[in-house]
C-alpha cells in the first residue's frame, strides 16, 4: 500500500475515532440532562405527595371540627324545640351551656338568639342583654329560609371577643313551625392557622382553609390579614364545578405572586376546601444546587473524555495501535465506576468478583478488597437466588444480552437490603464469546419499604385497623374459588352495632370512634386462623370471613363474639333494654361448586337478609339460615 493510501486510511480512522469521542460526549451530556430532568421530576413528585397527604389529613381535621360544632348545635336545637324559650327554660339552658365550657374542645363558643336576634344564652363571659345579632348574614339566611340544616358561614369578627371566627349555625322553630331563633357555634380562625403551622412545608409553604365560594377561612401565614379575603375570581375556585373533588394544582399565588405547587381537597360533608401549597422554586432549590455540582462534574468528565479522544486521534495519526485506545477506554470505565454512587461490579465467567467499585462499602458494608475473588451470588436471599442464578445463566449462555433484577442480599452489619441491578454480558474482543458480566447496583430498600407501606394502607381501614371493604371483597372472591376447588364451605358472620347513630348523638363522634375500635378488637380476636379475615364493611357494620367453616362453626364464632362484646360492658343508654352496646349478628354459609361458580355475592346477599331479620326481630340477637336465635339470658328488645 502506498504512503498516500496509508495516510488516507489513518485520516479516515482518526475521523471515525473523533466522531466516536464526540458521540460519547454528546451521549453523556444527554443522559446527564435526562437524569437531571428525572431527578427534578422526582423532587416535584415528592413534594406533590407531601402536599397531597397533608391536604387529605387536614380535610378530615376540618370535617371533624365542624362535625363537633354541629353536634353541639344539634343538641341545643333539640332542647330549645322541646323546652321552648321561656324564662325557666332559658335559665336551664344557660346553666347547661356553662357546664359544657370545659368540654367543647376546639369549639370557641356557643350562642343562642331569639327570633329578633337578642342573645338568650352564650358560653362567653359577657352580658347577653348588650348584644343583638339580627344583622348577621347567617341570622338573615336562617330567618328567610325554612332549611334546618347546618350553615357554615363566612368568617366574621366576634362581637364578644373581637377575633376572627368561623360560624356553624342552625335555626330552631316554634311548635307551629315558625322561626324561633338561631343556635350558633364558633371556631376561631386562629385555631386552624396555629394547627396548620405544625406541618412543615418549607419556609414559604402555606395551608389554606377556604369556603367553597372562595372566602379564606384560615391561613397558616398572615392569618389576621388574610381571613375573609375573596379569591373566587381565581381559576381554582371559578372552575371548581368542573374539577375533581381533589387534585394537584399549579398556580401563581394572588398573595405573593410566586408560582406554587399545591394540592386541593374538597370536603365531602361541608362546603370547605383545603389547599396545601409549596413554592415551586423552593421545592426545586436543593435539586438545582446539586444539579449544578453534578453537571459541573459531568462537564469536567466530558472535557476529560474529549481531551483523551483528541490524544487518541493524534496517536492514531502517528500510527499507534488500537490497543492503546482499548486501554484508555478501560481507564475511562474505571473512572466512571469509581466516581459513581452506584456499585459497579465485573463478574467473571466463574461467577467470582473480578472488580467492584468503592461504593460497595456504602451499599454492602464490605470493602472492594474483601469482595474481590468471592462468589458474586453468595449473599443473595435464598428465595430470590433461583431467579437470579437463572438470569446469570442466560447471560453466560448468550440467551440475553442485558437485563435488570430486583432482589434481596445480605448486608455486613446484619439484615438484608434490596438491590436493583442492571446486568450486561461482556464478550472477549478476540473470540466474541461471553467472558463475564458487568453489574451496576443501587440500594432500593427505602423504595421497597414505601411500596409495602402503601400496600398496607390500601387494604386497611384507617380507624379500626381491620381489613377494608375492598380487601374483604378480594379475599371473599379468592376463598370462594378455593372452596369451589376443594369442596369446602365458606361462612360469613356479619355484624351491625345496634342504634349506633343514637350512640353518636348521645356520646359524641369521638366516643363513637372509640366504641368502633373496641368492637373491632373483639371481632379481630376471633380471626384465629391464617385464612380468617375480619373487616370493616362500612360505618358500624363489620364482617368476619371464615373459610372452611360450616353452620355450626359459624354459630360458635358468633357466640364468642357476643360474649366478648358483653364482657366489654360498653354503656349505651339509648339501646334498651340492656343499655349497653350490643350487635345484631347474622351468619351465612355457602357450599361453592361448579354450578355456583363466581356466585360469591349470593353469600353476602344471604347475610344481608339475615341481618335484616335480626334487626326486625328486635336486635341483640343472631340469625342463621333464616332462623332467628335470641341470645341466652337476653331480654326482649
For the stretch 442-477, what's the b/e string if a residue is b when 16 or more beta carbons lie within 10 angstroms of its beta carbon?
Answer: bbbeeeeeeeeeeeeeeebbeebebbbeebbbebbe
Nearest to 45 by CA among 248, 197, 341, 236: 248
Residues 431 and 483 in one domain: no
* pLDDT at residue number 324: 45
CA distance 276 to 263: 6
Helical residues (DSSP H) of 417-550, grouped into ranges: 445-459, 469-486, 500-507, 509-524
- What confidence tens digit (pLDDT) does each residue in 266-317 have? 999 999 999 999 988 888 888 999 989 998 998 999 899 888 888 877 777 6
Contacts of 286 (CB under 8 A, 6+ apart): 43
Nearest to 66 by CA among 614, 509, 517, 573: 509
Contacts of 194 (CB under 8 A, 6+ apart): none
Q: Phi/psi at 346 (nearest 5 deg)?
A: -100, 125
Q: Which three cell numbers stand for residue 22?
A: 464526540
**Helix, strand or coil, per DSSP, at residue 153:** coil
Q: Residue 95 falls within a domain, yes or no? A: yes
Number of structural domains the chain divides into: 3
Q: Residue 454 falls within a domain, yes or no? A: no
Residues 386 and 417 in one domain: yes
Q: What is the DSSP string of 392-426?
A: HHHHHTTS-SEEEEEEEEE-TTSSEEEEEEEEEEE
Residues 469 and 566 in one domain: yes
**Helix, strand or coil, per DSSP, at residue 182:** strand
* pLDDT at residue number 633: 42
Residues 78 and 208 in one domain: yes
Residues 66 and 188 in one domain: yes
Q: Residue 548 falls within a domain, yes or no? A: yes
CA distance 219 to 211: 12
Residues 255 and 178 in one domain: yes
CATH of the domain at 425: 3.30.450.20
Contact present, 64 and 512 (Cβ < 8 Å): no
* pLDDT at residue number 337: 52
CATH of the domain at 575: 3.30.70.270
Residues 532 and 570 in one domain: yes
Q: Residue 494 falls within a domain, yes or no? A: yes
Nearest to 408 by CA among 375, 443, 359, 454: 443
Given 445, 469, 492, the domain boundary residue is 445
Residues 81 and 182 in one domain: yes
- What confidence tens digit (pLDDT) does each residue in 305-355 have? 888 888 877 777 676 554 444 444 555 555 555 556 688 888 888 889 888
Given 445, 475, 493, the domain boundary residue is 445
* pLDDT at residue number 104: 84
Q: Residue 325 falls within a domain, yes or no? A: no
Give, to the nearest 10 degrees, the angle between helix 601-616 and helix 469-486.
Answer: 120
- What confidence tens digit (pLDDT) does each residue in 555-612 have? 999 999 999 999 999 999 998 888 999 998 988 888 887 555 556 787 888 888 888 8
**Helix, strand or coil, per DSSP, at residue 185:** strand
CA distance 622 to 106: 41
Q: Which three cell numbers stand for residue 174?
A: 316554634
- What confidence tens digit (pLDDT) does each residue in 115-141 have? 999 999 998 888 888 889 999 999 999
Q: Residue 6 falls within a domain, yes or no? A: no
**Integer-rounded Cα radius of gyration of the chain:** 35
Q: What is the DSSP string of 216-233?
A: EEEESSSHHHHTT-B-TT
Give, to the nearest 10 degrees, the angle between helix 3-83 and helix 500-507.
Answer: 80
From residue 123, how far is each of 64, 96, 186, 621 by CA, in Å? Answer: 21, 10, 11, 44
pLDDT band at residue 8 under the 50/70/90 scheme: low
Q: Phi/psi at 369 (nearest 5 deg)?
A: -65, -35
Given 445, 470, 494, the domain boundary residue is 445
Which residue segment(s) compose the domain that 399 sits in?
A: 342-445
Residues 542 and 622 in one domain: yes
Percent of the chain with pLDDT over 90: 37
Residues 563 and 586 in one domain: yes
Q: Residue 227 falls within a domain, yes or no? A: yes
* pLDDT at residue number 445: 73
Say whether pLDDT at 437 is over 80: yes
Beta-bridge partners for 182: 113, 171
Residues 588 and 541 in one domain: yes
- What confidence tens digit (pLDDT) does each residue in 203-258 have? 888 999 999 889 999 999 888 888 999 998 898 888 888 889 999 988 888 888 88
Q: Residue 131 falls within a domain, yes or no? A: yes
Work out the mean pLDDT of the chain and round it to a whole number: 85
For the stretch 209-229, what's the b/e string if a residue is b when 16 or more beta carbons lie within 10 angstroms of its beta carbon?
Answer: bbbbebbbbbbbbebeebbbb
Contact present, 545 and 492 (Cβ < 8 Å): yes
Order of strands across the sheet with 343-348? 353-356, 343-348, 434-443, 416-427, 402-410
Q: What is the DSSP string of 353-367?
A: EEEE-TTHHHHHS--
**Helix, strand or coil, per DSSP, at residue 539:** coil
Contact present, 208 and 92 (Cβ < 8 Å): no
Residues 473 and 590 in one domain: yes
Nearest to 502 by CA among 175, 71, 77: 71
CA distance 571 to 515: 10
Q: What is the DSSP string of 368-396?
A: HHHHTTSBTTTTB-TTTHHHHHHHHHHHH
Amino acid at each position: 500500500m502506498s504512503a498516500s493510501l496509508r495516510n488516507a486510511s489513518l485520516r479516515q480512522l482518526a475521523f471515525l475515532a473523533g466522531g466516536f469521542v464526540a458521540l460519547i460526549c454528546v451521549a453523556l451530556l444527554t443522559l446527564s440532562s435526562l437524569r437531571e430532568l428525572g431527578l427534578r421530576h422526582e423532587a416535584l413528585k415528592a413534594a406533590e405527595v407531601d402536599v397531597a397527604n397533608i391536604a387529605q389529613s387536614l380535610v378530615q381535621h376540618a370535617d371533624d371540627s365542624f362535625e363537633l360544632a354541629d353536634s353541639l348545635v344539634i343538641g341545643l336545637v333539640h332542647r330549645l324545640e322541646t323546652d321552648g324559650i321561656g324564662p325557666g327554660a332559658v335559665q336551664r339552658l344557660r346553666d347547661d351551656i356553662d357546664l359544657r365550657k370545659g368540654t367543647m374542645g376546639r369549639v370557641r363558643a356557643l350562642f343562642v338568639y331569639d327570633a329578633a336576634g337578642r342573645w338568650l344564652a352564650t358560653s362567653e363571659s359577657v352580658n347577653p342583654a348588650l348584644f343583638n345579632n339580627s344583622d348577621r348574614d347567617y341570622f338573615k339566611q336562617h330567618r328567610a329560609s325554612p332549611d334546618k340544616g347546618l350553615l357554615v358561614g363566612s368568617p366574621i369578627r366576634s362581637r364578644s371577643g373581637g377575633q376572627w371566627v368561623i360560624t356553624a349555625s342552625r335555626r330552631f322553630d316554634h311548635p307551629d313551625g315558625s322561626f324561633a331563633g338561631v343556635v350558633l357555634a364558633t371556631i376561631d380562625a386562629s385555631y386552624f392557622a396555629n394547627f396548620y403551622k405544625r406541618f412543615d412545608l418549607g419556609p414559604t409553604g402555606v395551608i389554606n382553609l377556604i369556603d367553597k365560594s372562595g372566602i379564606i377561612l384560615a391561613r397558616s401565614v398572615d392569618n389576621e390579614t388574610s381571613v375573609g379575603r375573596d379569591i373566587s375570581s381565581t381559576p381554582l375556585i371559578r372552575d371548581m364545578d368542573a374539577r375533581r373533588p381533589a387534585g394537584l394544582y399549579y398556580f401563581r399565588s394572588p398573595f405573593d405572586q410566586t408560582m406554587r405547587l399545591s394540592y386541593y381537597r374538597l370536603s365531602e360533608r361541608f362546603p370547605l376546601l383545603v389547599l396545601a401549597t409549596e413554592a415551586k422554586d423552593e421545592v426545586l432549590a436543593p435539586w438545582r444546587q446539586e444539579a449544578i455540582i453534578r453537571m459541573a462534574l459531568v462537564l469536567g468528565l466530558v472535557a476529560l473524555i474529549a481531551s483523551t479522544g483528541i490524544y487518541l486521534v493524534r496517536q492514531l495519526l502517528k500510527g499507534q495501535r488500537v490497543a492503546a485506545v482499548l486501554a484508555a477506554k478501560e481507564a475511562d470505565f474505571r473512572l466512571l465506576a469509581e466516581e459513581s454512587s452506584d456499585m459497579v461490579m465485573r463478574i467473571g465467567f466463574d461467577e467470582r468478583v473480578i472488580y467492584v467499585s468503592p461504593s460497595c462499602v456504602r451499599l454492602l458494608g464490605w470493602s472492594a478488597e474483601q469482595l474481590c475473588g468471592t462468589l458474586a451470588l453468595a449473599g443473595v436471599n435464598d428465595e430470590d437466588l433461583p431467579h437470579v442464578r437463572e438470569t446469570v445463566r442466560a447471560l453466560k449462555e448468550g440467551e440475553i444480552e442485558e437485563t435488570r433484577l430486583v432482589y434481596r442480599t445480605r448486608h455486613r452489619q446484619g439484615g438484608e437490603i434490596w438491590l436493583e441491578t442492571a446486568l450486561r454480558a461482556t464478550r472477549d474482543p478476540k473470540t466474541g464469546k461471553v467472558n463475564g458480566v458487568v453489574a451496576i447496583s443501587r440500594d432500593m430498600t427505602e423504595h421497597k419499604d414505601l411500596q409495602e407501606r402503601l400496600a398496607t394502607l390500601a387494604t386497611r381501614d384507617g380507624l379500626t385497623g381491620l381489613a377494608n371493604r375492598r380487601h374483604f371483597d378480594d379475599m371473599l372472591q379468592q376463598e370462594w374459588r378455593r372452596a369451589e376447588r376443594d369442596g369446602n364451605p365458606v361462612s360469613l358472620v356479619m355484624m351491625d352495632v345496634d342504634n349506633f347513630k343514637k350512640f353518636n348523638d348521645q356520646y359524641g363522634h369521638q366516643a363513637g370512634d372509640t366504641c368502633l375500635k373496641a368492637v373491632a378488637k373483639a371481632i379481630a380476636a376471633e380471626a384465629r386462623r391464617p385464612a380468617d379475615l375480619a373487616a370493616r364493611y362500612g360505618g358500624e357494620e363489620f364482617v368476619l370471613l371464615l373459610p372452611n367453616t360450616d353452620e355450626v362453626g359459624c354459630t360458635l364464632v358468633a357466640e364468642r363474639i357476643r360474649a366478648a362484646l358483653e364482657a366489654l360492658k360498653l354503656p349505651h343508654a339509648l339501646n334498651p333494654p340492656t343499655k349497653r352496646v350490643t350487635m345484631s349478628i347474622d351468619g351465612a354459609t355457602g357450599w361453592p361448586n361448579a354450578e355456583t361458580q363466581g356466585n360469591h355475592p349470593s353469600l353476602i346477599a344471604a347475610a344481608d337478609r339475615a341481618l335484616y331479620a335480626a334487626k326486625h326481630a328486635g336486635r341483640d340477637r343472631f340469625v342463621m339460615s333464616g332462623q332467628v336465635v335470641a341470645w341466652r339470658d337476653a331480654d326482649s328488645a
